[in-house]
Amino acid sequence: MTLKVMMIGDVVARPGRAAALERLQDLREQHDVDFLVLNGENTSGGFSITPPHAEALFAAGVDVMTSGNHIYDKREVLPYIEKNNRLLRPANYPAGSPGVGMWTGRATHKQSDVKFAVINLIGRVFMHPQDDPFRKADELLTNIPEDTKIILVDFHAEATSEKQAMGWHLDGRVTAVVGTHTHTQTADERVSPNGTAYITDLGMTGSHAGVIGMNRNDVIARFMSAVAPRAGHSEGMVRIHGVLIEIDEETGRATSITRLSLPHES
């Protein structure tokens, strides 16, 4: 039996959030999606996510939400992420960080006996120092029950080399390794030789009229001045970015990966 998983790239601010809330149910039905993962670390104002926004996205069709380096930017998320293990933080954050970095269970939006695992990792190249994501991935894989065949990894990292290395490191041991964080969709999607779907970056769900989702004039000012304020989010040219992965239920191996780049009228 073939299963379908959709993974959506970084949702940025109100334009990305509105697009996701309006389209996720339709996309699930259109593509007969069994399980949906979304990176929500930029959902609220471009930095972190608030509990109401997280709840709205879960209600709209998200099974598990991943994150990255901005997850703790809004302090109100701290008690929420401690209670809701479907909102992940990077697993290789220091011990004792609020929340968890891996989820295992069944789909919440489609009746199925299939078990899934989702792992959230963060890179170290050009990022704040964290624990080794490669060794952390190895450790987490030993804790996943043998009857959980479908394992999805969101690697939130800056360097393409680090993401590609993780894809090869986990080839044949997980169903998919997808990169997030750079907000620019790459065109290198593939199913690796041992059955792992891979893409260096899912891309961004939000306004593509600016610079990685932020107001272009604000960003240019920050490049040209040492005192420019934090950039606001951009508006217009909204797109939903992600991938659709087809999976052999018996083996947990991916059989295909297709990029999604969908315009959304806001």
Catalytic residue annotation: 70
Give the DSSP H or E segment for 182: none
Q: Give the angle 245-251-255 at the CA atoms, nearest 5°.
A: 30
What Cα–Cα distance (Å) separates residue 36 from each residue in 63, 66, 91, 138, 240?
5, 11, 19, 24, 14
**Tokens 């009228």 sit at which residue?**
265
Q: Which residue has the tokens 């659709």?
A: 244
Contacts 24+ apart (CB under 8 A), 91-97: 91/119, 91/120, 91/121, 91/136, 91/140, 92/121, 92/122, 92/130, 92/131, 92/132, 92/133, 92/136, 93/122, 93/130, 93/131, 94/130, 94/131
Other CB atoms within 10 Å distance of the CB of residue 30: 9
